């Protein structure tokens, strides 16, 4: 069973609020990822990290930001939420370079009114 | 740039059928290939991981094969059940070993 956790699972907030989606893993993985997925649609990579103090933007342009101060923690922040940010956000970590196996959290479903 | 294609996009079958889901990728220099299952509104659950040196992996009624030279992987589901209904995704490493996903195959198994 994967040891990667996301909170909150569900969040409904108003426009303009600042939010942080939490992602933590206890597997000691260096590589971590954030994907955005709309219902019934494909996954889009929005941020990734190769380790502490390393963050990169993904293929999909996103107004969110991330930080990686500790290996186990990779939070995603939206400074001012808008209805266009309504989506599911999935966090993952990878056992690279060993097996390279990818593990996902349960996801955070965000609704911005 | 690695591109992943999954065929078919959707599949609806009666219970008990044996199924074949296909995944193709453009860059055959892959590190591994992983199959996932996703239930509506949930995260991705890993089903099978095939390393680049392996040809197949099996777990229960699931069998995944890998042919790197042709850029293809196949997921076999034997004796399908309604509980198998979900979206199935494959992922391979792309540039900088970042996982690249297909759009998935949406499977419905009806009783």
Closest Cα to residue A17, out of A111, A92, A101, A102?
A111
The pLDDT tens digits for B92-106 are 987 778 899 999 999
User: Could you give the percent of chain B with pLDDT greater than 90?
Assistant: 80
Q: Min CA distance, B103 vs chain A (Å)?
A: 5
Q: Which residues of B touch A (CB under 8 A)?
A: 31-32, 34, 36, 40-46, 49, 51, 89, 91, 93, 97-99, 101-104, 106
Q: Min CA distance, A16 vs chain B (Å)?
A: 25
Write the burial class of residue B96 (CB in 10 Å: 0-12 exposed, 13-18 middle, 19+ buried).
exposed
Radius of gyration of chain B (CA): 13
Write the burial class of residue A31 (CB in 10 Å: 0-12 exposed, 13-18 middle, 19+ buried).
buried
By Cβ distance, the residue of B34, B42, B46 closest to A107 is B42
The pLDDT tens digits for A47-66 are 999 999 999 999 887 889 99
Taking 80 as the threshold, does the pLDDT of residue A99 lie above it?
no
C-beta separation of B75 from B98 below 8 A:
no
Cα separation, A91 vs A48, in Å, equals: 10
Question: Per-residue confidence at A1, pLDDT binned at 50, 70, 90?
Answer: low
- Put simply, the answer to whether A101 touches B41 (Cβ < 8 Å) is no
Q: Which residue has the tokens 């990818």?
A: A102
DSSP for B36-59, please give it.
Answer: EEE-TTS-EEEEEEEETT-SEEEE
Question: Per-residue confidence at B82, pLDDT binned at 50, 70, 90?
Answer: very high
Mean pLDDT to the nearest integer, B27-54: 91
Cβ contacts (< 8 Å) between A39 and chain B: which residues?
Answer: 40-41
By Cβ distance, the residue of A58, A88, A102 closest to B91 is A102
């Amino acid at each position: 069973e994967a040891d990667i956790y996301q909170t909150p699972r569900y969040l409904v907030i108003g426009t303009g609020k600042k939010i942080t989606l939490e992602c933590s893993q206890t597997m000691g993985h260096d590589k971590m990822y954030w994907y955005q997925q709309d219902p019934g649609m494909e996954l889009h990579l929005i941020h990734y990290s190769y380790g502490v103090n390393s963050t990169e933007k993904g293929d999909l342009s996103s107004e969110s930001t991330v930080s990686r101060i500790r290996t186990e923690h990779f939070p995603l922040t939206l400074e001012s939420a808008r209805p266009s940010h309504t989506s599911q956000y999935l966090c993952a970590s990878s056992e690279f370079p060993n097996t390279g196996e990818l593990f996902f959290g349960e996801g955070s479903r965000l609704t911005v009114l | 740039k690695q591109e992943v294609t999954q065929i078919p996009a959707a599949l609806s079958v009666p219970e008990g059928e044996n199924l074949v889901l296909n995944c193709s990728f453009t860059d055959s220099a892959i590190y591994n290939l992983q199959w996932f299952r996703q239930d509506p509104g949930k995260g991705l659950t890993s089903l099978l991981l095939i390393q680049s040196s392996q040809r197949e992996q099996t777990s229960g009624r699931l069998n995944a094969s890998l042919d790197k030279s042709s850029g293809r992987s196949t997921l076999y589901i034997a004796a399908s059940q309604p509980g198998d209904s979900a979206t199935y995704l494959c992922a391979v490493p792309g540039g900088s070993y970042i996982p690249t996903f297909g759009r998935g195959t949406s499977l419905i198994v009806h009783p």
